[in-house]
Amino acid sequence: MDSKETIQQRKHRRFLTENTDFEVRSLDAESFNESELIHPWYYNLKYLFAGLLFGIILVKAEVISWFRIQEMFRLQSFHMYGVIGSAVVVGILSVLIIKKFKLKTIYGEPIEFVSKKFNKGNIYGGLMFGFGWAITGACPGPLFAQIGTGATVIIVTLLSAVAGTWVYGKFRNNLPH
């Protein structure tokens, strides 16, 4: 890199290479937490099965319903708060147990957690997603499940969400983070 780089430029370059994604592990600079094992593609079928169960739960709990989301945002029902709240409690306990007993994956690799840094996108992007959530009545998971239940028109919403992700990627450098 150019040694005459200003602090501003360096900060910007660092931001561009930093992983701001809370979901994508393979992009973390220290890839210690990422599986080193190379498996054939069909090992991924277990995630298809996990997704299948998750999809069934989402639909049967009516989490994918536009009506339930409207109730949630009008404080007209406890249902969604109960679902998310109890999921978080079980999630916290599970993570505590995994950390306490240093549990390993089924392939014997240690399970590791990374802490992610705050950036302003957590707020601005979060608000934008909230707007979209109230309008479509769906977060990304339910979009897939809704299409599965036969609401084929939601393919339009999903494609538009892909487009939104692409536009974010395109203009990411110009957005406040």
Partner 1 sequence: MLDLLKQPWPWYVAGPLIGLMVPALLLLGNKSFGISSSLRHICAACIPAKIPFFQYNWKKELWNLFFVSGVLLGGVVVALFLQNPEPVQVNGALVSELQQYGISNYHGLVPVDLFNWSNVLSLKGLIMMVGGGFLVGFGTRYAGGCTSGHAIMGLSNLQLPSLVATVSFMAGGFFVANLILPWILKL
* Residues numbered 25-54 forming contacts with partner 1, rule: CB under 8 A: 25-27, 33-35, 41, 43-54
Q: Which residues lie below 8 Å from residue 69, measured CB to CB, with a gap of 6+?
A: 80, 133, 134, 137, 138
- Distance, in Å, from the CA atom of 56 to the CA atom of 71, rounded to the nearest integer, reads 21
Decide if residue 94 touches partner 1 (CB under 8 A).
Answer: yes
Scanning residues 68 to 87, which ones bind partner 1 (CB under 8 A)?
68-74, 76-87
DSSP string, 112-167: --------THHHHHHHHHHHHHHHHS--HHHHHHHHHTT-TTHHHHHHHHHHHHHH
Residue whose CB is less far from partner 1, 2 or 23 = 23
Decide if residue 90 touches partner 1 (CB under 8 A).
Answer: yes
Choose which of 8, 14, 91, 101 interacts with partner 1 (CB under 8 A): 91
Helix (H) / strand (E) element for 99: namely: helix 79-100
Helix (H) / strand (E) element for 12: namely: helix 7-17
Decide if residue 10 touches partner 1 (CB under 8 A).
Answer: no
Q: Where are the beta strands (DSSP E) in 2-126?
A: none
Choose which of 3, 22, 102, 174 interacts with partner 1 (CB under 8 A): 22
Scanning residues 123 to 142, which ones bind partner 1 (CB under 8 A)?
123-141
Residue whose CB is less far from partner 1, 5 or 159 = 159
Binding mask 105-124 for partner 1 (x = CB under 8 A): xxx-x-xxx-xxxxx-xxxx
* Length of the chain counted residue by residue: 177
Per the CB < 8 A criterion, the answer to whether 41 and 124 are in contact is no
Choose which of 5, 12, 15, 165 interacts with partner 1 (CB under 8 A): 165
Decide if residue 15 touches partner 1 (CB under 8 A).
Answer: no
